[in-house]
């Protein structure tokens, strides 16, 4: 049991992402490391109901911290000059190319207010799926373990785990701290690496 808990802790300690998050918030890094351990144990233990419930509790805590402390500029209308110019150019295109659709009152609200925010949100949403954001903080030798762990994670087909993954995906699109990165994926990446190490060691023993 001791080895099972130490393994995800070691993965968390040896990557620089943990220290970048720590510079932002000690409480946040504590919750994320705890979530990594709980997530990992939920994947390898048979009786996982209590662990899954704990995952949702810890998730709620660091989500609240994220909303409170992180920059939520993703949902604000752009005010800086470059972004404003980009919006104005887009508006000019809509005026000339879409004509009635743009000048319709509801169309104007959509193209001027809603669409720029939606585009900004989706750009942030999908950029978080770029693995190059994360593996610059990890040693290259850990990548094969991540792949093995990810395969076993997908094979587990646990609906509660996938629910947390889905929630993390959508929330991460709105919450992002430049120094700490896409922290909602932290427990899953570290947990997958630890799971990959565990599965390989377990197969070797067998």
Residue 32 resides in a domain: yes
- What pLDDT, on the 0 to 100 scale, is given for residue 90? 59
Statement to judge: residues 6 and 108 lie in one domain: no
Residue keyed to tokens 């990548």: 143
The CA distance from 39 to 54, in Å, is 9
Statement to judge: residues 117 and 157 lie in one domain: no
Statement to judge: residues 26 and 99 lie in one domain: no
Residue 108 resides in a domain: yes
The CA distance from 114 to 101, in Å, is 15
Residue 188 resides in a domain: no
Residue 43 in tokens = 């994947």
How many structural domains are present in the chain?
2
The alpha carbon torsion through 13, 153, 67, 118 (nearest 10 deg) reads 130
Residue 50 resides in a domain: yes
Statement to judge: residues 63 and 94 lie in one domain: no
Residue 35 resides in a domain: yes
- What pLDDT, on the 0 to 100 scale, is given for residue 170? 81
Statement to judge: residues 113 and 13 lie in one domain: no
Residue 22 resides in a domain: yes
- What pLDDT, on the 0 to 100 scale, is given for residue 42? 86
Statement to judge: residues 117 and 96 lie in one domain: yes
Statement to judge: residues 64 and 134 lie in one domain: yes
Residue 7 resides in a domain: yes
Angle between helices 26-44 and 159-172 (to 10 degrees): 150
The CA distance from 52 to 43, in Å, is 10
Q: In a structure prediction context, what are the per-residue pLDDT tens digits for the chain, which is 206 residues long?
A: 566 678 889 998 888 888 888 887 888 899 999 999 998 988 887 667 788 889 999 998 888 887 765 545 554 554 555 555 565 565 555 555 555 455 566 666 666 677 777 777 777 777 767 777 777 778 888 889 999 998 988 887 678 888 888 888 888 777 666 656 678 888 999 999 999 999 888 775 55
Statement to judge: residues 134 and 103 lie in one domain: no
Statement to judge: residues 65 and 90 lie in one domain: no
- What pLDDT, on the 0 to 100 scale, is given for residue 34? 92
- What pLDDT, on the 0 to 100 scale, is given for residue 2? 67
Shortest CA distance to 199 belongs to which of 155, 160, 159? 155
Statement to judge: residues 136 and 61 lie in one domain: yes
Residue 54 resides in a domain: yes
Range of the domain at 7: 2-69+130-142+153-183
- What pLDDT, on the 0 to 100 scale, is given for residue 99? 54
Statement to judge: residues 61 and 11 lie in one domain: yes
Statement to judge: residues 53 and 138 lie in one domain: yes
Report yes or no: 20 and 137 within 8 Å, Cβ to Cβ: yes
Write the secondary structure of the chain as one string of H (helix), E (strand) and C (coil): CHHHHHHHHHHHHCCHHHHHHHHHCHHHHHHHHHHHHHHHHHHHCCCCHHHHHHHHHHHHHHHHHHHHHCCCHHHCCCCCHHHHHHHHHHHHHHHHHCCHHHHCHHHHHHHHHHHHHHHHHHHHHHHCCCHHHCHHHCCHHHHHHHHHHHHHHHHHCCHHHHHHHHHHHHHHCCCCECCCECHHHHHHHHHHHHHHHHHHHHHHHC
């Amino acid at each position: 049991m001791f080895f099972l808990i130490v393994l995800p802790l070691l993965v968390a300690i040896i990557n620089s992402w943990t220290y970048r998050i720590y510079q932002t918030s000690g409480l946040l890094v504590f919750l994320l490391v705890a979530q990594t351990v709980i997530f990992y144990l939920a994947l390898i233990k048979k009786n996982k109901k209590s662990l899954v419930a704990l995952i949702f509790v810890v998730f709620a805590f660091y989500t609240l911290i994220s909303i409170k402390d992180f920059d939520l500029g993703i949902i604000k209308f752009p005010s800086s000059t470059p972004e404003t110019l980009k919006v104005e150019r887009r508006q000019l295109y809509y005026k000339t190319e879409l004509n009635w659709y743009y000048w319709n009152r509801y169309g104007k609200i959509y193209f001027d207010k809603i669409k720029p925010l939606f585009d900004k949100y989706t750009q942030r949403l999908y950029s978080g799926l770029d693995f190059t954001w994360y593996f610059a903080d990890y040693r290259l030798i850990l990548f094969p373990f991540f792949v093995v762990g990810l395969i076993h994670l997908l094979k587990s087909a646990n609906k509660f785990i996938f629910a947390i993954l889905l929630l993390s995906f959508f929330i991460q699109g709105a919450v992002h701290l430049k120094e700490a990165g896409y922290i909602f994926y932290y427990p899953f990446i570290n947990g997958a690496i630890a799971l990959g190490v565990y599965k390989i060691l377990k197969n070797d023993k067998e």
